[in-house]
Amino acid sequence: MRALLMLFLAALPCLLHARLLQEAEEGFAECNDFFHQGSPPQGFSDPSHARICQRYQGDKHFATLYSPQHKIPVYSAFLYREGADSAQGDWLLEPQLDDPKSSLDEASKGSEQIEGLGTNQAVEEDYASSDYQPGPLFQAAPSVLTNAVPLTQDFKEKWAADVDQLMKEKLLPQCASGGNLHILAGAVPSSDKLKDKVSVPEYVWLAACCSIPEAWSLGVIKKTSAVDDLEQVTVEELESRLPGGVKLFSNQCGGGAVPDGTTSESSTQTDEEEAAKPGAFSRFFQLLFCIVYELVKTVLCFVWFLVKQVLNLVFGRLYWIWTAATTYILALSSVLINIPCDVLQVFANILCGFVRILNNVFSVICLVLRVPTRFLFDMASFPYDTLCAIPDVGIDILSGIWGVVALGFHAVFGVVGGSFSVVSFAGSSIFSRFVGHSEGSEN
């Protein structure tokens, strides 16, 4: 017993530290308590889904199977607790969903510490400038965006009121201990998306399971296109209407429906039952039996946990080997199939290369042949151009000679005219002086 207790204490920190669960981990680790008989729903087998043990302020609050593709939860699992925190205040984010290397292992408000924020989860900016608000699937939980889907204001308020009324009028009165009331709430995405990222749900659903005093269950469905309609169904019918052929509760939670009446069995005891209560000695033995039973149950559960961990390790390794082998075979087959295509592509490239070479050769030949052809044409046209130019050249020569002669005549006439002008001027000057002198003497 001491060895088992030491092993349990040694394994406890590892169990409490996990938040974003890895592929090798089974179920939801320490958050398996939120599921009926510790067994998560079956049939949601998309490998892209992320399993999250939702933790906040050092405590686990609920479990979520999240779809990074649609950026909304597939479902969240809750265990009813009196006085649980309701969704309010700032919206929290899951750091490890976008940054697997983050040291933050619980929901956080510090978005500046998260690398790649919004890659795999919705953020508040995705809801900006739209008619939708982040609406929690179940109100009795912290405000984490991985537990919220896009809802209109009217639908969000109506869904919260419907769930609250369902809890007060049907679920809690019929479950002898609220601590044994397991809640699953989920959404089915439609083709509509906010900013082409966050899927708007086609409908939301809720399933409840109570295992004490008698196992019973129920389900509800609410289409986002019908704000005022809430459809109550059995869990089996709800499972048939969810995609993928899922099983929500282990052993169908007894397969029963909510019993008639609005009061729990503990509040309808008769006077005879009050009188038939056991004495103190009997209650002591009952208490002792319960303690021994719980100890044995705890030990068996822990042993079963160790066995499951070993089996999970073995089968996980086998699965890893099988995955590696199939991946290698598929990759090799793809390469072998692509070889003929690659060979044909190489031959086609070679043929195109030869065609381009021939085209360049012909272009060079045409260029070489074009040069002597033009030269011979110029040589053949030279005599004709020469004879045709003789008259023009003769005319130009005669024009030049006539210009020289005309220039000579102009020069001679210019000299003669200039000389005559000089003589005339000199003669007139002498005559003027002589005539003037004579008139002075007479006077």
- Mean pLDDT over 39-66 rounds to 88
Q: How far, in Å, are 182, 262, 286, 409 from residue 266 at the CA level? A: 19, 12, 19, 152
Instruction: Decide if 7 contacts 19 (C-beta within 8 A).
Output: no
pLDDT tens for each residue of 257-281:
655 544 333 333 334 444 444 556 7
Q: Is the model more confident about 376 or about 307?
A: 307
Domain ranges within the chain, ordered by starting residue: 2-277
Instruction: Note whether 144 and 54 are within 8 A (CB).
Output: yes
A 10 A CB-CB count for 157 gives 14
Could you read off the pLDDT of 370-382 as tens digits, one per residue? 666 667 777 777 7
Share of the chain residues as helix, strand and coil, in percent rounded to the nearest 5 = 55, 15, 25
Average pLDDT over residues 390-401: 86
The CA angle 82-77-135, to the nearest 5 degrees, is 85
Q: Rounded mean pLDDT of the chain? A: 81
pTM of the full structure: 0.55
Which residues lie closer than 8 Å to 127 by C-beta, 6 or more apart? 133, 134, 150, 194, 198
> Residue 342: what pLDDT?
87
pLDDT score recorded for residue 247:
92
Average pLDDT value for residue range 324-341 = 89
Residue 157 predicted with pLDDT over 90: yes
**High-pLDDT (> 70) share of the chain, %:** 81
Cis peptide upstream of residue 68 (ω within 30 degrees of 0): no
pLDDT digits over 281-293, tens only? 777 877 888 899 8
Q: Are 234 and 270 within 8 A, CB to CB?
A: no
Q: Which fold has domain 2-277?
A: Extracellular Endonuclease; Chain A (3.40.570)
Q: Among the listed ranges 22-36, 106-120, 409-423, which one has the minimum average pLDDT value?
A: 106-120
Which one has a higher pLDDT value, 44 or 381?
A: 44
Contact between 303 and 311 (Cβ < 8 Å): no
Lowest mean pLDDT among 104-113, 235-244, 253-262, 418-427: 253-262
Task: State the pLDDT at residue 27.
Answer: 79
